[in-house]
């Protein structure tokens, strides 16, 4: 049996199963079940009788319906699209199968309207089978990614306009690309016009139907009158890549989720410092380079000082970082299928949570390498090398370990792999100086340069010597080999560390073999080698923490290099072998990460922008987020915020111990010490300075949580400060676990 016949056979099975269920769900109450099942038998209830009758009829009708549908499809295929070659029949068959799969999922795994589903599917079939004749499709028709994405964006705009949280939304996203594909031969200039990318803007206004209508109408009008305008293929390609990544990554519910004090709180504490007019490093201690903090202040200053816009800021950085990583994957991996697989795997592994901002930090480093690579292989485009220097130093002032690693990796590229070394070094250094000089000058002019160097290096040094370190996870050793233990190992950080070692070693061996034995090294090999060296330098800091979120720094690089390695050794030359390699990789190695990420993407397109469920929120102007949490806990927090706001004057101050830096921001209060996150400063005389500042500035309240523990740290981990507070302050009021202390 031909492959397209097999595709239609599977489609017929899915149709038969779906239509049978839709029909029986409506007719089961009219079937005289007593003719088949006797309720006089003990334990046979009326409900059981109906269910067993349903089972019998479903079994019989399914086979009759499926066989009938298959031969109808076979007849239509021969009659209507016999002039199309086999390859294109397979492609169209796959699209038909995809719609049938959505029909099956809609009928069996979600609430649905039988009339709506049957109507949509009937309309699709009419469109599908008649289009081959009506549109005069021939063998010249080609599958174009632009056409498909343009149709997807139109479908997404319709979905946003309808504003319905329903599984049927998935039909729209699948059918519209297919419609555009069918129209591509008759109206190629219209369906391939990159102006369709303007429709991406609609997702930012998913709650306003008027704006969506205006944007969509204006876009279609512009497309109609600018058919021959856009001819820049490379620009068009990159724009499509960036836009589709944005559509996939953007989460309209970025503001939903419980606030994590450990990973989000210190940003709010530092933001409040800047709101109060303080200078970072000089007036307060911060353990990260300054750029993200400065940009956070500028962004919230232009929008609003609230957690909502803080999360919006970091969500934008998340998208920008993964976009940069996708651009690198596009240049590193040639196969479209393996390229998409690598990018989706990385998207699954990162997950979009606000943790350590790995996406923007790592993305800047990879973007710097990509720009330098493009500049070095195109001798007339040294501006890319100059831009690489700019991005490298930005990476340094965003993430110290990433910045240092990328600088060393590019310098190794210059001195060992590149031609015109002196010119490359001059342009690269020029880009570095353009950003570094004004940044260092600003810090120096505000007496913050030396504190900056001391605070950042102290924090990095603390990690190097064991602060918050955990051992690398290892496989479990038992007396015998057990498959289920090995399968579980494939989804652990122990295996991920092995994958990093495998990918790095494989690329290095391949590179050295090509360079010194085969003598056939190509530019892409240089790019992969530089990324590997970047990963080696970066692994020093990753090996310290060793937890999943720090492992991601090298794991993302390993995924890129793994798919590059698979492609380079010709392991996956044909499409079916590429599918096999990707399926094995996703099912065995990525595991739950891919499962949960795919679930979140599908859920997003069904409920776009609708927060379904019961949520709590902060009762303060600086909140703006919603989250699922116990009402009692949320009330205690809101009461605490209100109490501090009502009882602490503007010229007064508080101190939060040992950790809840967001409270300064939520209450618009001043911290009387230089430390917003005491747990981060456990050595080097920091505790003595905290005590001195408490004595000198005398806080109105000390907000104390004796049960605040994380990373094996507790209030007793800071004994001088902890003892001073307990000796000099007494309880005044209690809000859950948080205690308001006042001077004795």
- In this structure, is residue 199 part of a structural domain? no
More confident of the two residues 280 and 83: 280
Q: How confident is the model at residue 161, as a pLDDT?
A: 85
Q: Of the ranges 7-16, 24-33, 271-280, 657-666, which one carries the lowest mean pLDDT score?
A: 24-33
State residue 713 phi and psi, 5-degree precision: -110, 145
For the segment 72-87, what is each residue's pLDDT rounded down to a tens digit? 988 887 776 656 666 6
pLDDT band of residue 706 (cuts 50, 70, 90) is: very high
| Together in a domain, 122 and 271 | no
Quick one: pLDDT at residue 109? 82
CA atoms within 13 A on the CB side of 576: 1
Tokens of 215: 């944007």
**Residue 251 resides in a domain:** no
Is 560 in the same domain as 660? no
585 pLDDT higher than 90: no
Predicted confidence at residue 641, as pLDDT, reads 93
Radius of gyration in angstroms for the set of CA atoms belonging to the chain, rounded to a whole number? 30
Q: Give yes or no for residue 590 having a pLDDT over 70.
A: no
- Segment 482-486 shows an average pLDDT of 79
CA 44, 50, 51, 54 dihedral sign is positive
**Is 188 a member of any domain?**
no
- Which of 329, 328, 339, 344 minimizes the C-alpha distance to 572? 339
Query: Which of 367, 130, 115, 117 lies closest to 242 in space, CA to CA?
Result: 367
Among candidate residues 136, 159, 175, the one where a domain is terminated: 136
- Tens digits of residue pLDDT in 607-654: 777 777 778 888 888 988 888 777 888 889 899 999 999 999 888 899
* Contact partners, residue 471, CB within 8 Å, separation at least 6: 546
- Segment among 195-199, 320-324, 354-358, 630-634 with least mean pLDDT: 354-358
Residue-level pLDDT at 572: 47
Question: Measured between alpha carbons, how far is 321 from 195 in angstroms, rounded to an integer?
Answer: 25
Distance (Å) of CA 34 to CA 21, 38, 44, 208, 235: 21, 6, 11, 54, 69
Of 131-145, 237-251, 560-574, which one has max mean pLDDT? 237-251
> Which of the two residues, 272 and 470, has the higher pLDDT score?
272
The predicted pLDDT at position 461 comes to 67
Question: Would you list the DSSP string of 444-462?
Answer: HHTT-HHHHHHHHHHHHHH
Counted domains in the chain: 3
Query: Quick one: 516 and 461 in the same domain?
Result: yes
Please say which residue of 136, 169, 194 terminates a domain.
136
Given a cut of 50, is residue 602 above it in pLDDT?
Answer: yes
Among 582-596, 642-656, 723-737, whose mean pLDDT is lowest? 582-596
Residue 506's alpha-carbon distances to 158, 498, 511, in angstroms, are 46, 12, 9
Cβ neighbors of 691 (< 8 A, separation 6 or more) are 720, 721, 724
Pair 574, 678 in one domain = no
pLDDT tens per residue, range 389-430:
999 999 999 999 999 999 999 999 999 988 888 999 999 999
Residue 151 lies in a domain: no
More confident call, 137 vs 677: 677
The pLDDT value recorded for residue 348 is 85
Contact call for residues 372 and 413 (beta carbons, < 8 A): yes
> How far, in Å, CA of 161 to CA of 144, rounded?
26
Helix and strand element counts for the chain (H, E): 28, 6
Query: Once rounded to an integer, what is the mean pLDDT over residues 179-204?
Result: 85
Distance, CA of 293 to CA of 452 (rounded, Å): 13
Show which of 80, 109, 136 is a domain's final residue: 136
Q: Once rounded to an integer, what is the mean pLDDT over residues 702-730?
A: 89
Please tell me the predicted confidence (pLDDT) of residue 465: 61
Q: What residue has token string 């990554």? A: 249
Backbone conformation region of residue 164, classed left if phi is above 0, alpha if psi is from -120 to 50, else beta: beta
> Is 209 within the bounds of a domain?
no
Does residue 578 form part of some domain? yes
The residue-averaged pLDDT of 11-40 equals 81
Once rounded to an integer, what is the mean pLDDT over residues 344-363?
A: 83
Specify which residues 713 forms β-bridges with.
710
Answer with the residue of higher pLDDT: 668 or 709.
Answer: 668
Whether residue 105 has pLDDT greater than 50: yes
> Residue 721's Cα: distance from chain center in Å?
39
Query: Which run of H or of E encompasses 442?
Result: helix 421-445
Write down the residue that tokens 């590059």 correspond to. Answer: 564
Higher pLDDT, 139 or 15: 15
3-class DSSP state of 734? strand
Helix, strand, or coil here: 537?
helix
Nearest partner of 398 among 429, 353, 431, 368, judged by Cα: 368
pLDDT of residue 462: 64
Check whether 692 has a pLDDT greater than 60: yes
Q: Are residues 594 and 648 part of one domain? A: no
Q: Which of the residue ranges 99-113, 282-296, 470-484 would you say has the lowest mean pLDDT?
A: 470-484
- Higher local confidence (pLDDT), 326 or 232: 326
Any domain includes 186 = no
Amino acid 549: pLDDT: 82
**191 three-class SS:** helix
The residue among 737 and 79 whose pLDDT is bigger is 737
648-674 confidence digits (pLDDT tens): 988 889 999 998 999 999 999 999 999
pLDDT at 231: 53
| pLDDT-above-70 percentage for the chain | 87
Q: What is the mean pLDDT of residues 700-704?
A: 95
In a domain, 526, yes or no: yes
Give residue 519's pLDDT. Answer: 80
Q: Tokens 């360079």 belong to which residue?
A: 515
Q: Is the pLDDT of residue 737 over 60?
A: yes
pLDDT at 398: 96
How much is the pLDDT for 84? 63
**Paired tokens of 94:** 């796959």
Same domain, 582 and 687: no
Distance from C-alpha of 21 to C-alpha of 114, rounded to nearest angstrom: 9
- Average of per-residue pLDDT across 311-339: 93
Best CA proximity match to 344, nearest among 571, 581, 105, 559: 559
Same domain, 647 and 590: no
Does 647 lie in the same domain as 588? Answer: no
Domain range for residue 685? 631-743
Q: Can you tell me the mean pLDDT for 130-139?
A: 61
pLDDT at 616: 82
* Token pair of 549 as six digits: 């979120």
Q: Pick 618 or 325 by higher pLDDT.
A: 325
Query: What's the pLDDT score for residue 283?
Result: 95
Q: Whole-number mean pLDDT of the chain?
A: 85
Q: For 394-427, give the secondary structure using H, E and C.
A: HHHHHCHHHHHHHHHHHHHHHHHCCCCHHHHHHH
Per-residue pLDDT tens digits for 224-245: 887 555 455 556 788 888 999 9
* Confidence check: pLDDT of 560 > 90: yes
Do residues 592 and 723 both lie within one domain? no
**CB neighbour class for 433 (10 Å; exposed up to 12, middle 13-18, buried from 19):** middle
pLDDT (tens digit per residue) in 509-557: 999 998 888 888 899 999 999 999 999 999 988 887 777 888 899 999 9
Pair 459, 584 in one domain: yes
627 SS3 class: strand
- Check whether residue 336 and residue 473 sit in a common domain: yes
pLDDT of residue 674: 94
Neighbours of 665 (CB within 10 A): 25
**Domain co-membership, 275 together with 316:** yes
């Amino acid at each position: 049996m031909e492959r397209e016949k097999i595709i239609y056979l599977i489609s017929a099975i899915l149709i038969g199963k779906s239509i049978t269920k839709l029909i029986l769900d409506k007719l089961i109450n009219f079937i005289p079940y007593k003719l088949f099942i006797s309720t006089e038998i003990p334990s046979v209830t009326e409900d059981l009788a109906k269910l067993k009758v349903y089972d019998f009829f479903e079994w019989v009708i399914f086979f009759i319906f499926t066989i009938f549908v298959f031969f109808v499809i076979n007849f239509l295929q021969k009659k209507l699209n016999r002039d199309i070659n086999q390859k294109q029949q397979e492609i169209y068959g796959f699209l038909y199968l995809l719609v049938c799969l959505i029909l099956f999922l809609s009928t069996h795994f979600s609430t649905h309207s039988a009339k709506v589903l049957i109507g949509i599917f009937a309309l699709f079939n009419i469109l599908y089978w008649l289009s081959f004749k009506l549109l005069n499709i021939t063998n010249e028709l080609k599958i174009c990614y632009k056409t498909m994405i343009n149709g997807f964006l139109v479908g997404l705009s319709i979905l946003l306009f309808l504003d319905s949280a329903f599984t049927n939304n998935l039909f729209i996203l699948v059918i519209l690309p297919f419609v555009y594909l069918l129209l591509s031969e008759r109206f190629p200039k219209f369906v391939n016009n990159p102006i369709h990318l303007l429709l991406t803007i609609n997702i930012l206004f998913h709650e306003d139907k008027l704006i969506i209508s205006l944007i969509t109408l204006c876009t279609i009008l512009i497309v109609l009158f600018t058919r021959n305008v856009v001819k820049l293929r490379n620009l068009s390609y990159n724009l499509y890549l960036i836009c589709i990544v944005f559509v996939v990554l953007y989460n309209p519910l970025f503001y939903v989720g419980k606030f994590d004090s450990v990973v989000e709180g210190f940003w709010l504490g530092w933001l409040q410092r800047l709101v109060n007019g303080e200078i970072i490093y000089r007036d307060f201690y911060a353990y990260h380079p300054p750029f993200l903090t400065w940009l956070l202040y500028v962004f919230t200053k232009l929008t609003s000082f609230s957690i909502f816009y803080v999360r919006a800021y970091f969500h934008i950085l998340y998208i920008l970082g993964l976009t940069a990583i996708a651009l690198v994957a596009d240049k590193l991996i040639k196969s479209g299928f393996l390229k998409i697989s690598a990018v989706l795997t990385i998207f699954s592994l990162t997950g979009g949570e606000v943790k350590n901002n790995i996406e923007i930090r790592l993305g800047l480093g990879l973007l710097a390498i990509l720009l330098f690579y493009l500049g070095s292989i195109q001798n007339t485009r040294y501006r890319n090398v100059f831009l690489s220097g700019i991005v490298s130093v930005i990476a340094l002032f965003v993430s110290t370990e990433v910045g240092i690693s990328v600088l060393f990796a590019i310098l190794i590229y210059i001195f060992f792999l590149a031609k015109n070394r002196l010119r490359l070094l001059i342009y690269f250094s020029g880009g570095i100086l353009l950003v570094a000089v004004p940044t260092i000058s600003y810090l120096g002019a505000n007496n913050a340069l030396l504190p900056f160097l001391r605070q950042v290096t102290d924090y990095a040094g603390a990690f190097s010597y064991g602060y918050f370190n955990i051992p690398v996870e290892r496989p479990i050793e038992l007396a015998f080999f057990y498959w289920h233990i090995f399968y579980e190992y494939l989804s652990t950080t122990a295996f991920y560390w092995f994958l990093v070692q495998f990918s790095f070693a494989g690329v290095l061996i391949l590179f050295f073999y090509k360079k010194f034995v085969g003598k056939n090294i190509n530019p892409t090999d240089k790019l992969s080698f530089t990324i590997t060296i970047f990963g080696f330098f970066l692994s020093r800091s990753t090996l310290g923490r060793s937890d999943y979120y720090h492992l991601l720094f090298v794991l993302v690089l390993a995924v890129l290099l793994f798919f590059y390695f698979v492609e380079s050794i010709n392991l996956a030359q044909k499409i079916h072998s590429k599918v096999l390699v990707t399926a094995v990789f996703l099912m065995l190695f990525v595991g739950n990460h891919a499962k949960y990420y795919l679930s979140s993407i599908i859920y997003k397109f069904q409920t776009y922008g609708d927060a379904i469920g019961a949520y709590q929120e902060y009762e303060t102007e600086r909140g703006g987020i919603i989250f699922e949490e116990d009402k009692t806990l949320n009330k205690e927090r809101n009461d605490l915020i209100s109490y501090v706001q009502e009882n602490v004057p503007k010229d007064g101050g508080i101190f939060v111990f040992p950790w809840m830096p967001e409270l300064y921001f939520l209450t618009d209060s001043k911290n009387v010490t230089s430390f917003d996150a005491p747990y981060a400063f456990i050595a080097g005389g920091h505790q003595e300075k905290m005590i001195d500042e408490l004595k000198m500035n005398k806080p109105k309240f000390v907000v104390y949580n004796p049960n605040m523990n994380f990373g094996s740290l507790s209030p007793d981990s800071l004994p001088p400060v902890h003892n001073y507070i307990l000796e000099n302050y007494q309880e005044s009021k209690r809000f859950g676990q948080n205690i308001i202390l006042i001077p004795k």
